[in-house]
Structure 1
Amino acid sequence: MSEEVREERGKGPVEAQSSQAESTMAAILAIAADAIIALDEQRRITQFNYGAEQIFGYAKDEVIGRSVNVLIPDRFHSRHDEHVASFASSGVAARRMGERREIFGLRKDGSEFPAEASITQLGETGERIFMVVVRDVTDRKRYEALLSQSNAELEARVMERTAALEEESQRREEARAALIQAQRMEAFGQLTGGIAHDFNNLLAIVLGNLELLEARVSEEEASDLIRRAVGAAQMGARLTNRLLTFARRRPLAPTLLNANDLMLGIAELLKRALGERTTLTTVLARALWQTRADPSELENAVINLAINARDAMPKGGKLLIETENVTIGTADPIAQECAAGDYIAIRVTDTGSGMSPQTLKRAFEPFFTTKEGRGTGLGLSTIYGFARQSGGHVTIESQLGHGTTVTLYLPRVDASEAAASGNSDDTVPLSENCETVLVVEDNAELCEIVLRRIEALGYVVLSAPNASAAIAMLEKEPDIALVFSDIVLGSGPSGYDLGLWVRAHKPEVKVLLTTGYASDAAGGEKIEDEFEVLHKPYSRKDLAVALHSTLNAGDG
């Protein structure tokens, strides 16, 4: 029997139980992963288990008897002393881990680590002992930081993706709105073209009848009434051309013009359109030079500027339209934008809200507009393009709160060209050899008027209601010299198709097409590249010149 066993058997029951408890406590202290530290009343370390050695990096012998402050960063010493003193006098037996704020421990190597601690106090034989359990939470804090960072990154990605989806949704909505607008404009253009065609057919009937009637009337009063009716019909034709220009269905057609005459006509139109709160004044230069430009485009430009001015004066104001002869020298600032020389200037000035410097810089940019939801941003850019295409320029002067002046410069036509234009030949060419003309028109009333007008010019006339009937007639009538066909011929082949057939099967026969709309059938530009086209409504002279020039032109 060993000495230890004999000694254990020699102890009494209480001594044996106490010894067993100490052994159990020693085993717990040895295997605990947390730091378990015992302190006396002076806060000196009396016990330091294996877990504490692993956490703090001290060997047990290095800290026994030393102040617990050796395990605490300097900046926490006073706070820790206050905490222990408060705990000792509180009468509380223990505080569990996590019941106090986060603390930090100090390792032997000087590094700090986050920790949680629990504390209890024991009072045996009158001496107070504090037992502290410290847990290193470095890994947990690291994981929490990583989780927080991951959550933040995930949230940022979600926000970024949400923003991207919102941006994409906005882009799609804008694209959808742009597509709808484009479709509306295309539909409007098609509608305008259809109206123009039908309206010009009616005007052709009216003008044709008035022309035939005028030749039979000798009374001055009746002739005057006819001339007025012709003027009204021609005004309707100009209105149709404005509609086509607005819908961008008509190419530029520059002519020699006096801008003063044009401005007077525009002023009458604007006085009704601008309303009573806008006062319109025109100051037109005497002996204004002539220029060459598309009158419809010039009218549209000035009307557009006037409408912009009205919108800039919601409470009313003054609008001034001026014309002036201007000579631009090489030293003038505007000479950098256009060639030096003589120009006519058309100024539109308002007393409206004006433009900021930032807006003024972008005024001519396509699609830039300050009229959110109401403007296309194409008005000023279209005017700029028209001016440049006409050999001129346009400028804007504006100040916020002090109105805007837009000046359109168009080049002067030299005197020799103006004189030549003024002495143009008014002769109406007639048929030279009684040529046979086949008129192809599906509108019976219009066809009758056209036949009578062409016959009055000395031609022999035949008629067909559609392309198929015209082809049948061409195959049996060898004397037909020219086919004069409307482009739109109901539901069958078009006049353009008929022209292609004639070119392929009867190349000796000339083709002259007519229409009230430049973009009928295969497309206006393509048609006018291949055949002569006479636009409705036309005058007697226009018809005579077109027939004569087509018959005397080369093949094709």
Structure 2
Amino acid sequence: MFRPDIKEDVFDGPPDGPGSGMSVQMSTAGIVHDLGNLIQVASSALNHLARDPSIQAAPALGPVIAGAKTALERAGGLVRQTISLARESHAEIEYTNVGACLAEIETLVRSALDANIGLELRVGSDLPLVRCDRFGLQNAVLNLLFNARDAMPDGGFISIDAGLASANSAASQVDIRVADNGIGMTSETMVCAFDPFFTTRSEGLGGVGLPMVKHFAEQSGGSIDIQSTLGAGTTVTLRLPAMR
């Protein structure tokens, strides 16, 4: 598909020359732009589906369609954010309410979990705002939740806990822990867990989620940590700087 916003001259220069950065940047923006088009098509289809009388006569489908529409709206927001970054626009520092973000994620993700997977959200009282992008935080937690779900093919339990980091921390920070009681990881897998495109899955989109979460954490001035025991589950801790 021809896109008038992408010009031929941005690809000048050899692959490792001065033009390569712009080439990769525009290529990424083009892919994301096309994803945005597909999201619009899917959103339109869902809107038509929601108006179908047979769907309206089945109340149980309402929350499922609403969850799918919310997911597509968030995907559209991510597309816009990615294109903005590709243009090298620098957003102002943003502070985010962790409890509100996680409550939205809990509502969104429940429709994507099987009936044999339990989910519990616990948020500490009077948490300070954290210094990060709101959509970035929600996308990071979604990645962790879907990893936890995939680690429990026979069902299990996922918990999300948010609270102040331990008193030993050098600065005011908030910890967000996503824990599951799934298959866990070997020590060899944990060493490579954040390597781009490393995956133990034979299919799907493995090898992208955790590196993206790590990039988000470090870009926000925070960190990420994994604790896992083979056969007993995994806990991932996302630590973000709090507003002083």
Using the size of structure 2 for normalisation, the TM-score is: 0.68
Other structure's SS at 1:249 match: helix
Question: Structure 1 residue aligned with 2:78, among 220, 242, 258?
Answer: 242
Say whether residues 1:390 and 2:220 are aligned partners: yes
What are the equivalent positions in structure 2 for 1:158-197 lying under 5 Å apart? 189-194=32-37
1:293 aligns with 2:165: no
Q: Which residue of 2 aligns with 1:444?
A: none
- Is 2:119 the counterpart of 1:280? yes
Q: Encode CA deviations 1:501-551: one digit per residue, 9 max, x unaligned.
A: xxxxxxxxxxxxxxxxxxxxxxxxxxxxxxxxxxxxxxxxxxxxxxxxxxx
Change (3 A) 1:317 1:235: closer
Which residue in the other structure is 2:192 paired with?
Answer: 362
* Cα separation, 2, equivalents of 1:354 and 1:400: 4
Given residue 190 of structure 1, which amino acid in structure 2 is its aligned partner? H
- Equivalent residue, structure 1, for 2:236: 406
Listed as ranges, the gaps of 5+ residues in structure 2 are 1-27, 43-69
Classify 1:186/1:369 alpha carbon distance in 2 versus 1 (closer, same or farther; 3 Å). farther
Question: AA paired with 1:249?
Answer: I
Whether the aligned pair in 2 keeps the contact of 1:280 and 1:320 (CA below 8 Å) is yes
Q: Who is 2:109 aligned against? A: 270
The answer to whether the Cα contact below 8 Å between 2:197 and 2:206 also exists between their aligned partners in 1 is: yes
Q: Which letter maps to 1:240?
A: G
Partner AA of 2:191 in structure 1: K
For residues 100-119 of structure 1, the aligned pairs below 5 Å read none
Matches within 5 A, 1:43-442: 189-194=32-37, 238-244=74-80, 248-251=82-85, 253=91, 254-327=93-166, 329=168, 340-414=170-244
Secondary structure of 2:162 counterpart: strand
Task: Tell me the CA shift for residue 193 of structure 1.
Answer: 3.5
Q: 1:354 to 1:193 in 2, by over 3 A?
A: same
8 A Cα contact 1:196 1:244, kept in partner: no
Change (3 A) 1:370 1:316: same
Shift of 1:271: 0.7
Q: Deviations over 1:236-259 (max 9, x none)?
A: 8655203445xx434385521110
Higher relative contact order (CA 8 A, sep 6+): 2
Once the two structures are superposed, what CA deviation does each residue of 1:413-436 show, in whole Å capped at 9, x if it has no partner? 11xxxxxxxxxxxxxxxxxxxxxx
CA distance in 1, matches of 2:224, 2:193: 11
Task: State the distance in 2 between where 1:264 and 1:404 align.
Answer: 22
Cα gap change, 1:314 to 1:376, in 2 (>3 Å): closer
Cα separation, 1, equivalents of 2:29 and 2:84: 14
Percent identity, please. 35
Deviations 1:275-329 (A, max 9, x none): 2111010011000111121111111110111111111000110000110011463
Larger radius of gyration: 1
Q: In structure 2, how many angstroms separate the alpha carbons of the residues matched to 1:327 and 1:347?
A: 13
Deviation at residue 369 of structure 1 after TM alignment? 0.7
Shift of 1:191: 2.1
Query: Does structure 2 retain, via aligned residues, the 8 Å contact 1:327–1:342?
Result: no
Task: Give me the whole-angstrom Cα distance separating, in 1, the residues matched to 2:151 and 2:29.
Answer: 29
Residues 198, 352 of structure 1: CA spacing in aligned structure 2 closer, same or farther, 3 A cutoff? closer
Structure 1: which 5+ runs fail to align?
1-184, 200-233, 331-339, 415-556
Q: Distance in 1 between matches of 2:41 and 2:149?
A: 34
Residue aligned with 1:345, SS: strand
TM-aligned CA distance change 1:250 to 1:349, over 3 Å: farther
CA RMSD between the two structures: 2.9
